[in-house]
Amino acid sequence: MSSEIDVVIVGAGAAGIAASRQLAKGRCSAVIVEALPRPGGRAWTTVAGGYRLDLGCGWLHSADRNPWSRIAEENGFAVDRREAAWGKQFGDLGFLPEEQRAARQALQEWEKRLPAVVEDSDCAGDALTPENKWNPYVQAICGFSNGVAPDLMSASDYLAYDAACTYRNWRVPDGYGTMITASIPSQIPVWLDTPIHSLIDNGRRLKIETSRGSISARAAIMTVSTNVLAGDAIKLPGVLDPWRHAAGRLPLGHDEKLFLNIHDPDAFSPETHLIGNPYDSATCDFYIRPFGRPIIECYLGGDSALIVARHGLAAGYRLAIDQLAHLFGSDIRSKLSPLVGSSWYSTDRIGGAYSCALPGQATARRSLARSWDQRIFFAGEATHSYDFSTAHGAYESGLRAADEALAALNLSRVVFQPLMTPTAKIHEAVS
């Protein structure tokens, strides 16, 4: 197959879909090329046990300023605005109130020490107090939120996200991934199960070689994950080595999500939360009976997710059920069974959860967001300076890249303006 178009979008995740929505507003021919057999990328809603379950992003973070909140309601999707159960340990099981207060205080004190670390090593791990018994708790929280331990994380990167986040978390009962993929504009073709093998610069045009043939395009928007961009799955011209180097400084962390069937729903209270073992950095985090469904959503991040990466899903399920049995008693095992789970680390053409800047490398996000020769543009959550690791950060990056492409090609465009900058958010909080 051979085709000539204005813009080829590589990747049908949140960034690629956002770019396609913006390009559809201009006088522009475009196509999305996706390696996976489904759209959405790390926004993936699957159906299991009769329910729509998000194996990737599932929460509208910073929901009060998240553009997907508006898009969801515009497209007829319900948005659940109830306060999430995060931060509340159901029945204080395995985590007494005084322990919870001490753990939260240790986390807050670690965060307060981060600014002092930025000018030195920028290693978030250096803000930990040696021998503090709550260090595993802090490490676990970093694993859930960033996919890595503090020693592998830029302090300034963490602080940039924290300054911009509103900590309002809403949900889409029909699935975040379902809502995102439903927003693909009908006039933009999507080639699924079509990995690209190489991108070649032919002077005035780019040649994109795919498993279905070649595409000749005036411009390309690359939205692949940082692990893919830095790897060797796609052959890229040497002039893009600085972008591949920047991607290598923003590797994907480890986060997985497992779902358990509950055979006796009365054994668990709906809309409750538990952390499995706050003294273990490899703990799981459990959201129990979301929307009242007879399931448990198990979050594995950092050290716990590494267990899935190294030993497979079965090992992850054993870890989760063992921790629940420790809290509820061994009889609970007969009331639970594996339902479905993610394996983002082993998913071809993704290779992990979301990006986390290495110590001293937060500026790599700006480097990665630069365009090359006004013909190759880069988008994806990793290119956002403060909303990285989120679907809304990916969305805004897609709009930005599409506007850059439309301007470079001198086509009609609708200029994108970010909804809120970190500076604006901080000003709003203190005014």
Which stretches within 231-388 are classed as H helix? 241-248, 303-311, 313-328, 364-369
Question: Are residues 246 and 367 located together in one domain of the fold?
Answer: yes
Write out the residue range of the structural domain in which residue 320 sits: 90-167+254-346
Domain count, the chain: 2
- Tell me what percent of the residues of the chain surpass a pLDDT of 90: 92
Q: Name the nearest CA neighbour of 253 among 159, 118, 150.
A: 150
- C-alpha pair distances (Å), 398 with each of 64, 119, 216: 20, 31, 21
pLDDT digits (tens, 9 = 90+) for 177-221: 999 999 999 999 999 999 999 999 998 899 999 999 999 999 999
Task: Kindly state the average pLDDT of the residues 34-55.
Answer: 98
Predicted confidence at residue 426, as pLDDT, reads 26
Question: Are residues 119 and 132 located together in one domain of the fold?
Answer: yes
pLDDT for residue 1 is more than 80? no
CATH number at residue 399: 3.50.50.60
- C-alpha pair distances (Å), 102 with each of 74, 95, 98, 141, 394: 43, 11, 6, 14, 35
**Of 27 and 246, the one with more pLDDT:** 246
Question: Are residues 154 and 267 located together in one domain of the fold?
Answer: yes
User: Picking from 35-44, 103-112, 246-255, 414-423, which range would have the lowest pLDDT averaged per residue?
Assistant: 414-423
Predicted confidence at residue 431, as pLDDT, reads 23
Question: Are residues 245 and 262 located together in one domain of the fold?
Answer: no
Task: Kindly state the average pLDDT of the residues 34-44.
Answer: 98
Predicted confidence at residue 430, as pLDDT, reads 24
CA of residue 287 relative to chain centroid, distance:
18
pTM, 2 dp: 0.93
Residue 305 lies in a domain: yes
Q: Name the nearest CA neighbour of 141 among 157, 156, 158, 129.
A: 158
In the chain, the amino acid numbered 268 is F
Predicted confidence at residue 203, as pLDDT, reads 86
Question: Are residues 326 and 381 located together in one domain of the fold?
Answer: no
pLDDT for residue 424 is more than 80? no
Task: Kindly state the average pLDDT of the residues 9-35.
Answer: 96
Question: Are residues 220 and 363 located together in one domain of the fold?
Answer: yes
Predicted confidence at residue 422, as pLDDT, reads 35
pLDDT for residue 427 is more than 50? no
DSSP string, 178-200: HHHHHTS-TTS-EE-S--EEEEE
pLDDT confidence tier of residue 3, bands split at 50, 70 and 90: low
